[in-house]
Structure 1
Amino acid sequence: MAPYDPTGITVTADVLHCQRDHARFLVEEKRAHYAFTVRRNQKNLHRQLAALPWQKASAKFYDRTDAHGRLENRVVRALTVSELGVDFPQAVQVAKILRHRNQRTTGKRSRETVYVITDLTSRQASPGRITKIVRSQWINENRLHFVRDTTFAEDASKIRTGHGPDNMATLRSFALNALRAAGHANITAGLREMSYDSFRRPLDLLGPS
């Protein structure tokens, strides 16, 4: 984060980064905001959030998406927790997201409840805004990290020393951006097309002078 100025931006993160030190670092040192997802692996914090007086939540938001063969309905409630004894640095608001999913191909239905804890006030982030913040994280996850792992087998890479992992991650991201800029929505198909002429087509894609 050193080369960037995160002042005023909202940093989203899943459970791995839902840490007290991370919250303090973002708010107190970088003057940024956070919106962290809380799941059952954080037992104490999850228990605190589940026990909040959600029946008193007047701020609600309803959302529905139909994509990737899955219909998903979301009900989002938000509570201001500044005076409710939530043990997390700078926490001001918590959202409860109840998701109902229906897989169209299999008919399988599932239900999941997750919590989002943030230092953003209700004026800065309504339940609808919190929903957009959380979903933006997964858009990035699906478009970048998921593709790098499944298409480029990044997690299986044996390159683990020095600057090798960082350099390879940069090259994979560069390849993804180049393919998308050339109009390839399906990265696997784009790589396959490049392989038909592994010398000329990549050079044409990059547009060398």
Structure 2
Amino acid sequence: MPFTLKKTIEFIVEEKKADFLFTVKGNQPTVLDTIAHLQLENGPAQFQTIERGHGRQETRSIWTSTRFVKYVPLPHIQQFFTIRRDVLNLKTGKSTTEFAYGCTSLPPERGSPAYLLSCNRGHWSIENSSHYVRDVTFDEDRSQIRAGHGPQMMACLRNLTIGLLRLAGWQEIASATREFAAKPWHALRFLGL
């Protein structure tokens, strides 16, 4: 069975009895155009967060709508959302603005703007805690393993390593890998061998 977004949504909602929230990109032009044409961001934001850190101030605003969900050729969509991310570099004063469009199976009574923004933000914390570590610490992007199931197996092994180290209390995965590289017997003891 080939992968399609429609089948994935049906599997999540109908078989797993779960909900979804995803950001719509260019590979779903009908959905993207529908949300973009709603121009939700023209009204006042329904929820907003402001965070400061790492030399910048980031303002995230969200708008949601149930209008036109029935016209999108995907099942179980209950809401559309638009997220605007304004980032101000506190040192240079330069600011950037990005928009993200998405949809969810959560109806408004279970998926408030604050909750949807939090879920979207949570996706990036997963991205940052897993993929970033794999890219930087394990240099995954430059891996020469490209054939067959090799790339998936290596990603699984890297994820397993990161997960085990985090369970053991390591916050800095790079420090742990340096420790075990310098003292391999510590790695064996860590694994109970």
Task: Please give the TM-score of this superposition, normalised by the length of structure 1.
Answer: 0.76
Q: 2:88 aligns with which of 75, 94, 102?
A: 102
Counterpart selection for 2:113 from 101, 106, 127? 127
Q: How has the CA–CA distance of structure 1 residues 33 and 62 changed in structure 2, closer, same or farther, with 3 Å as cutoff? A: same
Alignment counterpart, residue 201 of structure 1, candidates 163, 171, 186: 186
Residue 175 of structure 1 is matched in structure 2 by 161
Greater RCO, CA 8 A, separation 6+: 2
Q: Deviations over 1:7-36 (max 9, x none)?
A: xxxxxxxxxx99333223322343321111
Give 1:114's aligned amino acid. Answer: A
Which residue of structure 1 aligns with residue 60 of structure 2?
74
| 1:85 pairs with 2:82 | no
Gaps of 5+ in 2: none
Q: How far 1:73 sits from its partner (Å)?
A: 0.4
Pick the aligned partner of 1:137 from 107, 110, 123: 123
Structure 2 counterpart of 1:187, from 156, 173, 179: 173
How far apart, in 2, do the equivalents of 1:137 and 1:145 lie?
11
Write the deviation string for residues 42-99 of structure 1: whole angstroms up to 9, x where unpaired.
Answer: 4332221111263797881111222344321011111113666334322110111111
The Cα RMSD (Å) is 2.9
Give the secondary structure class of the aligned counterpart of 1:112. Answer: strand
SS in 1 for 2:111: coil
More helix by share: 2
Q: CA distance change for structure 1 residues 135 and 98 in 2, over 3 Å: closer, same or farther?
A: same
Counterpart in 2 of 1:44?
A: 30
Name the SS of the counterpart of 2:46 in structure 1.
strand
CA 1:106/1:180 → structure 2, altered by over 3 Å: closer, same or farther? farther
Count of matched residue pairs: 191
Q: TM-score, normalised by structure 2?
A: 0.82
Equivalent residue letter for 2:12: L
